[in-house]
Amino acid sequence: MSAAVSVPPPTSAAVPKPLLPDYRGACITNLVPSLITGEDPPGADPGWLPEAARRADQVVLLVLDGLGWEQLRARPALAPTLSAAGGIERPITSVAPTTTACALTSITTGRPPSDHGLLGYRLALDDQILNVLRWTLGSGRARDVRREVPARRLQPFPSFAGSAHPVPVVSKQEFGGTGFTAAHLGNSPLHGYNVLSSLPVEVGRLLGRGEPLVYAYYDGIDKVAHANGLGELYDAELVAVDRLVKDLVDRLPDGAALVVTADHGEIDVGPRLELFGSDIMALVHFLSGEGRFRWVHARPGAATDLEQALSERYGDTTWVMSRDHVVEVGLFGGSLAEDFLRRLGDVALLPHAPIAFVDPADTGESRLQSRHGSLTSEELLVPLVALRRGESI
């Protein structure tokens, strides 16, 4: 399922090893290609794709943003439909970093991050930062750069490659026309919804039209977790999501299946935030990435000193890796083109403790309660379940 990454010697015997995405097997990168072609990736256990999905004439792929496997398995009574589905016993992996911009692009393109190049939420383009979800450059009064930075310049691969015709997408109406939508969904026709009750209706219409594959996306779990953590409001949202899944199953025609997965899980961080002191900032040019996969860009000539200082300060809570080491161990799925390498910093900070590294230039990030991005099991493992009407419920 996932393998341990070889990392530099830890500072403490209690430091765990990170998990590595299973790019050749049971990983979100391989889901769409397998659903389209019916073939398993070369490194996958034959049972990785639930049988209900293999036998289906039509498939709805529902991506629930932020629904980690560990969080779901800890709450079976709140999600009886999902918890009874075929495949719930075995998670699959997300990608690195475990963040929406990177993971959704891997799902829809069927490519690892090393191929598609959207390597994080806040991506370095020269000395500027692209917010990939908003497709804006800069901080503060950031500017929309859909024309200045065309989506296909940043991410060259088509979505749903191998499908006989464009795969319809059911997602929020507000996402239509955004730079990130263009980057990860390409020319797929958007069937937008404004309220959640419309999502099953739109999916039902498309299935009735005979569409062999429908892609649907809902971001509620992730929003609630970010704003409120993994407490009572998260639990209430999971109940609503399970009801959505049941509503979708009830609309499936004979021979169709609903396949449910996620882009990443969550870890509750709350106020446990790390802000670099003046000694470290003296070595730092700027920051990119996100709080749990933070890239630190060194001042000229300071990369080695920066890595040493960060390792000494944070080695007991965080996997501290140089850029070369991150690429060498295959966190992104393979080697990177030179243009993609320039999107990375000099040192990566991936916490295994429930902390996050603050970038003062990204003011909104300091208000998040739950987070994701690193390679803990809470963040990396996601469900892959399949349901048919009248079965596994």
Q: What pLDDT digit, counting tens, does each position of 142-175 carry? A: 788 999 999 998 999 999 999 988 999 999 999 9
Helix ranges restricted to H, 164-275? 179-185, 198-208, 220-228, 232-250
Check if the beta carbon of residue 16 is closer than 8 Å to that of residue 352. yes
Burial state string for 282-320 with b = 16 or more CB within 10 A and e = fewer than 16: ebbbbbbbbbbbbbbbbeeebbeebbebbbebbbebbbb
pLDDT value at position 316?
A: 96
What does the mean pLDDT of the chain come to?
A: 93
Q: What are the distances in angstroms from CA 107 to CA 60, 169, 271, 373?
A: 14, 13, 31, 16
Has residue 393 got a pLDDT over 70? no
The verdict on whether omega for the bond into residue 91 sits within 30 degrees of 0, i.e. cis, is no
DSSP-assigned letter for residue 317: T
CATH topology for the 271-371 domain? Gyrase A; domain 2 (3.30.1360)
Domain residue extents for the chain:
19-268+376-387, 271-371
Classified as helix, coil or strand, 7 is coil
331-342 tens-digit pLDDT: 999 999 999 999
Has residue 120 got a pLDDT over 60? yes
Find, among 178, 157, 63, the residue nearest to 114 by Cα.
157
Give the pLDDT mean for 113-122: 97
250-294 tens-digit pLDDT: 999 999 999 999 999 999 999 999 999 999 999 999 999 999 999
Q: Give the pLDDT band of residue 141 (cuts 50, 70, 90).
A: low
Task: Quote the radius of gyration of the chain (alpha carbons, Å).
Answer: 20
Distance, in Å, from the CA atom of 338 to the CA atom of 332, rounded to the nearest integer, reads: 14
CATH class for the domain made up of 19-268+376-387: alpha beta
Residue 79: partners with Cβ closer than 8 Å, 6 or more residues away: 72, 238, 239, 241, 242, 245
Q: Give the pLDDT band of residue 325 (cuts 50, 70, 90).
A: very high
Would you tell me how many other CB atoms lie within 10 Å of the CB of residue 324? 12
Has residue 9 got a pLDDT over 60? no
